[in-house]
Amino acid sequence: MIVVYGIKNCDSVKKARGWLEARHIAYRFHDYRGDGLDAALLQKFIDALGVDAVLNQRSTSWRQLDDAQKSDLTPDKAVQLMLAVPTLIKRPILENGQQLIVGFNPDQYPSE
């Protein structure tokens, strides 16, 4: 089963979900706000993709952090920030079996 992780009002998540629906590809949507985000799930993303691929340092949420939060960024500090502010996670993250794909990229998405 494909799982799409993100937040429902994110444009990239909307594009990914629309793309899957248009192709009648079954998936489950996991909303960080409604379904939650725990340390184990976030660590799974980081273990597979790396913290730099998961943390969105170009997001509005990142820009709204104060300088102390953004400075001296370690992997542990990044995890704590993403757990506190899930909108810091790049979206969507699509899980297809053992594969994780960050962002909406139809060329990497399953075809059926």
Residues marked as catalytic? 10
For residues 43 and 67, what is the distance between their CA atoms, to the nearest angstrom?
A: 24
Tokens standing for residue 102: 């960050």
The CA distance from 14 to 32, in Å, is 14
Q: Are 35 and 5 in contact (CB under 8 A)?
A: no
3-state secondary structure 72-106: CCCHHHHHHHHHHCHHHECCCEEEECCEEEECCCC
According to DSSP, the β-strands at 93-96 and 99-102 are: antiparallel
